[in-house]
A and B are shown apart, each in its own frame.
Chain A
Amino acid sequence: MKLRERDLEIDFTDAIDAIVFDQMKASKPNYHGIGEMHRVDFVVELTEAILFVEVKDPGNPKARSEGLEKFYRDLSDGTLGDTFAAKFIDTFLYRWAEELLHKPVYYISLVTFEDSGLLPNFSDEIAKKLPPMGKAIPRWKRQLAENCQVFNIELWNQSFPKWPATRIASAENA
């Protein structure tokens, strides 16, 4: 099942179901309908797990400098981490309310950083912003996310050969 976010496409070849969760067009299937809630881009159901997938493309050759400056400013001051965490939490709540959270959830993001050195730090930052915020809480019997990790295209494709990510050529967008 192929899902696309602007110029990036991911083929979840072994998915039972895969939807564009961030769907705010009322005419489309899986219309979200609550603009006040943050949303991950895709929700993918596998046999034994659910993936929440967020995609950001600062490495897009067509990216404008103002947009890139804001992206890296938000990364630097923690705003981007806050946003990624909010996307997970609100999506989790929404799917819980739909009674569609019956499997372990994995939060994996594709961010087209050239510098893979940014990935582990950003992954840790997001994970620490998800409840229980890095704290040990003995009363909790389960965790919200089994894994919270950010990949660039190269590492994504090395890690998940069954979910190839590709940049769609500009000509196809025309």
Chain B
Amino acid sequence: MQVEVVNLRKQFGATQAVREASFSFAAGQVVGFVGPNGAGKTTTMRILATLDEPTSGDALIDGVSVVEEPERARGLVGYVPDSLPTHRDMSVHEYLDFFARAYQLRGSRREQVVESVEAFTNLTGIRDKMLVALSKGMKQRVSLARALLHDPPVLIMDEPAAALDPRARIELRELLRALSSQGKAILISSHILTELAEICHAAVIIEQGRILMAGTMDDLLAHSTPHRTVLIRVLDRPERLHRELLETPGIERASFAGNEIAAEVTGGDEACAALLAALIGRGHPIIEFKQQRANLEEVFMNVTKGAVQ
């Protein structure tokens, strides 16, 4: 199962919302879709969900084109919009039953599916509650449950963590992990980058409709920062190590606090390994040597310029 976005372009009048966007992701991957407001995230997601039509380009979901065969593509995608369910006079169960009927699930099969989705999203206890009486976190779970009714292999989620309290966010994260382990491909947009970094295997960064960067988290972190920061803890004499590090070629910067020294190493894993070998060879009593990973926020700030259309 593969989702491929190929040269996607969407124009609204004179505004180019999405410009030749291309990226792909596969089953079991959770992919963060990151970009400032107005970057083209929602437009791209709506195209993937077959709600909008691209001006040119295409998106293939398991080889099915959203342009040529939107009816088939719909069966493969579950879409969670950024708005929450607002139906009045309707309970959680009635809402899910309605959408299950809309997906042509019949008789006992429908009841079975609705009940299992309610159980998976932890809605069984509140199934008879009215939608208007639910908190945002619960509504978000209902929205996710609705998107799962037809068991789609791909989930498109637009800002699902927006306005959720910490507990609801943790619950959502757990649900996404469970879905990912079931082999679903998940594209999720969010402004809360720390949240994304924890659950995403890969990320796509978009700005002004252009894809600036796409790849696994490791690739993104490696490519967006030219150096690595290593944290070295020694048993004693940290000032000696600090001095030596400042004289070592390939070390950009070094600082120490207590027995811990932070050094910026130019190059990749090989440079770090060579440095460790050299330090041990020189007899430094090293008790810990670890790479400090750049986070998604740093990558995002390095890559984007904050421009909007």
Q: Say if A and B assemble together.
A: no
The interface of chain A, by Cβ under 8 A from chain B, is none
The interface of chain B, by Cβ under 8 A from chain A, is none
